Amino acid sequence: MSRETTVATEGHGHGHHQLHQDDWDAVGARLEGEAEMSLDFLEGAASWLTELADGRPVRRVLDIGSGPGVASCVLAATFPDAEVRAVDGSAPLLERASARAARLGLGDRLVVTQRELPDGLDSLEPADVVWASRVVHHLGDQDEAVRRMAALVRPGGVLAIAEGGLSLRSLPRNIGIGRPGLEARLDVALQDWFSEMRAAQPGTASTVEHWPGILAGAGLTPSGTRSFLVDHPAPLDPGTRGVVTDWWGGIGERVADRISADDRATLERLLDPQNEDGLYRRPDVFVLMATTVHAGRAPTP
């Protein structure tokens, strides 16, 4: 694995909603599982990027905030002439990315680079395709972060930002325990958690999250927005069910103090591995979500 810098990330912010590097380091298996569950989205998006490349050679791809490199590997498979550089602040996640690429026979074209964002963007080499999934919202000034990512796109190349969509749904409206509509109420609580997480980022700035407008503001020509479905009907295979239970565990930690005692009791039952009504055993657990990708093209001289 090539690692170009080692970045100390401790103590660069305050407030319990700010995610520190060690938080990311600890969630490698969960992030990899979530991304594997979303391979339909990643492959669909990569195939759209080949359409956007429109015959232009793609020799270099950047995956910014790559995490465990599932998208990096899909991009390497999709662009066989490209070197793909996975960029992230977390060394353990980048190790996962390297291991994954080696397992899939893509190790000779996947390079990992540890960088703290957004400052670490400025020293990267430009690329034909720059992919940034679910990372811009972790950076304080999202417009500024997109501007810095746009500066990394070669003339005629594409920046694709995966942000927004529809949150994961995995249970029927009425699950037979508690008040129907639990997931919708958890979603509301999660939105508040998300706003507080954003407010706690260093250099946080509020912006209207109109991503094509943000891409245009960064000097790119918006070249489309597409949403990709992740759809696993019940019954789930054990691996996907494991991702869902982990997902709910994470949600529980974030919203437990924001929901009613009744909903908290339902959540506890759902997360109890021994409970027949719980997520580990019930037959009706599914996965349905949509992820949106916004693309912008860099001007040619």
Ligand X SMILES: C[S@@+](CC[C@H](N)C(=O)[O-])C[C@H]1O[C@@H](n2cnc3c(N)ncnc32)[C@H](O)[C@@H]1O
Summarize as ranges the residues that interact with ligand X (CB under 6 A).
24, 31, 35, 65-67, 71, 88-90, 93, 116-117, 133-135, 138
- Closest to ligand X by CB, 246 or 272: 246
Shortest Å distance, C-beta 119 to ligand X: 9
Shortest Å distance, C-beta 67 to ligand X: 3
- Closest to ligand X by CB, 19 or 184: 19
- Closest to ligand X by CB, 245 or 291: 291
Shortest Å distance, C-beta 131 to ligand X: 8
Q: Token pair of 114, please?
A: 């540890």
- Closest to ligand X by CB, 26 or 188: 26
Residue recorded with tokens 């908290």: 264
- Closest to ligand X by CB, 47 or 260: 47
- Closest to ligand X by CB, 65 or 278: 65
Partners of 87 in beta bridges: 64, 113
Shortest Å distance, C-beta 160 to ligand X: 11
Work out whether the CA dihedral 80, 86, 91, 93 comes out positive or negative: negative
* One-letter-per-residue 3-state SS of the chain: CCCCCCCCCCCCCCCCCCCCHHHHHCCHHHHHHHHHHCHHHHHHHHHHHHHHHCCCCCCEEEEECCCCCHHHHHHHHHCCCCEEEEEECCHHHHHHHHHHHHHCCCCCCEEEEECCCCHHHHHCCCEEEEEEECCHHHCCCHHHHHHHHHCCEEEEEEEEEEEEEEEEECCCCCCCCCCCCHHHHHHHHHHHHHHHHHHCCCCCCCCCCCHHHHHHHCCCEEEEEEEEEEEECCCCCHHHHHHHHHHHHHHHHHHHHHCCHHHHHHHHHHCCCCCCCCCCCCCCCCEEEEEEEEEEECCCC
- Closest to ligand X by CB, 133 or 142: 133
Shortest Å distance, C-beta 69 to ligand X: 8
Query: How many residues belong to the chain?
Result: 301
- Closest to ligand X by CB, 135 or 287: 135
Q: Which residue is nearest to ligand X (CB)?
A: 89
Shortest Å distance, C-beta 135 to ligand X: 4
Work out whether the CA dihedral 167, 169, 175, 181 comes out positive or negative: positive
Shortest Å distance, C-beta 296 to ligand X: 18
Q: Token pair of 147, please?
A: 């501007």
Shortest Å distance, C-beta 265 to ligand X: 29
